[in-house]
Amino acid sequence: MPKKSFKIFGSILLALIFTGAAFYGGTRYGLSLKSSSQVPPNELLEADFSLFWDAVNLIKNRYFDAKEVKDEDLLYGAIEGTVRALNDPYSSFFNPSDAKKFDQDISGSFGGIGAEIGIKNNQLLIITPLKGNPAEAVGLKSGDKILKIDDTFTTDLSVDEAVKLIRGEPDTEVKLFILRNGWEEAKEFKIVRKVIVVPTLDWEMKPGKIAYFELQNFNANASSLFYQAAFATLLEGADGMVLDLRNNPGGFLDVAVNLAGWFLDRGDIVVKERFYSGEEKIFRANGNGALKDLPVVILVNGGSASAAEILAGALRDNRGVKIIGEKTFGKGTVQEIENLKDGSTLKISIAAWLTPDGHEIEKKGLEPDVEVKLIEEDVEKGKDSQFEKAIEVLSQEIE
């Protein structure tokens, strides 16, 4: 059976693709913050903020170069510091000039390396290098630690700040200093930025009537491409499916819910959003359930994040679908982007994702039911022990 390949090509928000799934799979633009702003600041905060004004007074009256410091810079610096105090890599503040550049970037064409980056245990790292893009071409791998971007050390950098450094004009070069598990010292990778190629879905029918779906992200095209592939799979009479979500950095939440509807009964819980207040919003399957009786196993690794974790968790909690491979990344929060009155922008995490059984995804990820780690020697030989185990487990379920 010849391999079927469905792909979508184009530019993606920011230069790195998803950037920690912050702009796909959970970001909301322009949502109101009125419920918070109606509460006077002195009732929201218990700290003595006269200390802040004392510090400002000292700066304005005693700093040797105070005349060169704009009041707006003091204000924006204070807000940036407040957001940093959250210790959340996905919450950021953009002053008006940065916010304007951000808007221009997401509406235009730009260069990147084709990798999702994130922060885990206070370390900036590669979550997933996207297939067919510069990051993969130079040999970057999921889990690689980014120590330096050109001449800037990444300590204390937010995801958005790192993105700002890495993106740039197509055909220009960026240098990343990478430390990989097992290496004694960091190595320099020179990467030429390109307009990013975004893979979506590859599928083929394996021996034994096993459908193999390699879903590479949950972008806006994934639902229609999955429909075509699933329809063809049903026509060919597949006896089982391997759903490969390895190195899938996530995507639109509604796409994950849509795809879950192929495998679940209508009304089954796909994911929950839990807010600061304790209130929960529940997303339920509302699809055709055409694959709900088909035996399925799921492949994941440390590059599986966000919407990929949602879909995997939903199928395991509802159907007992086995997850095979390595622990997932653990990106499970929803970001809201609010445009402030002076043109600045605040991006803030407003909710956490939970699987149907209540498992928190953020920082915890999903533990596989069957752990199989890829050995470097096997990879070099083209051997995929995780896929082989998936076929073994699926075959037992089919019997």
The better pLDDT of the pair 176, 103 is held by 176
> Nearest to residue 311, comparing CAs of 209, 391, 226, 373?
226
**From 88, 160, 244, 317, active-site residue:** 317
Question: What pLDDT, on a 0 to 100 scale, did the predictor assign at position 6?
Answer: 39
**Amino acid type, 51:** L
Question: What pLDDT, on a 0 to 100 scale, did the predictor assign at position 25?
Answer: 36
> Nearest to residue 233, comparing CAs of 165, 180, 320, 296?
296
Structure tokens at 62: 């005693």
Chain-centroid distance, C-alpha 302: 11
Q: How far is CA 5 from CA 136, 225, 241, 299, in A?
A: 19, 10, 17, 19
Mean pLDDT of the chain: 87
Say if residues 147 and 178 touch (Cβ distance below 8 Å): yes
How far apart CA 152 and CA 111 sit, in angstroms, is 19
Whether the predicted pLDDT of 24 surpasses 70: no
Question: What pLDDT, on a 0 to 100 scale, did the predictor assign at position 396?
Answer: 93
Domain 199-398 matching CATH 3.40.50.12160: the answer reads no
**From 272, 292, 331, 389, active-site residue:** 331
Question: What pLDDT, on a 0 to 100 scale, did the predictor assign at position 17?
Answer: 35
The better pLDDT of the pair 395, 43 is held by 395
Whether the predicted pLDDT of 317 surpasses 90: yes
First CA to last CA across the chain, in angstroms? 23
Express each pLDDT in 119-167 by its tens digit.
988 899 999 898 889 999 999 999 999 999 999 999 988 888 898 899 8
Express each pLDDT in 201-217 by its tens digit.
999 999 999 999 999 99
Contacts of residue 239, defined as CB under 8 A and 6 or more positions apart, other chains included, come to 208, 209, 210, 294, 295, 398
For helices 307-319 and 253-263, what crossing angle results, to 10°? 30
pTM: 0.82
Q: How far is CA 271 from CA 257, 310, 353, 386, 399, in A?
A: 8, 6, 7, 26, 31
> Nearest to residue 271, comparing CAs of 362, 349, 348, 193?
362
Q: How far is CA 43 from CA 38, 47, 49, 82, 188, in A?
A: 10, 10, 12, 17, 50
Active site residue 317: yes
Structure tokens at 184: 């004694």
- pLDDT range class, residue 107, cuts 50, 70, 90: low
**From 11, 92, 304, 306, active-site residue:** 306
SS (H, E, C) 79-127: HHHHHHCCCCCCCEEECHHHHHHHHHHHHCCCEECCEEEEEECCEEEEE
Domain ranges of the chain: 199-398
Whether the predicted pLDDT of 39 surpasses 80: no
Mean pLDDT of 342-371: 95
Question: What pLDDT, on a 0 to 100 scale, did the predictor assign at position 325?
Answer: 97
Highest mean pLDDT among 53-57, 89-93, 103-107: 53-57
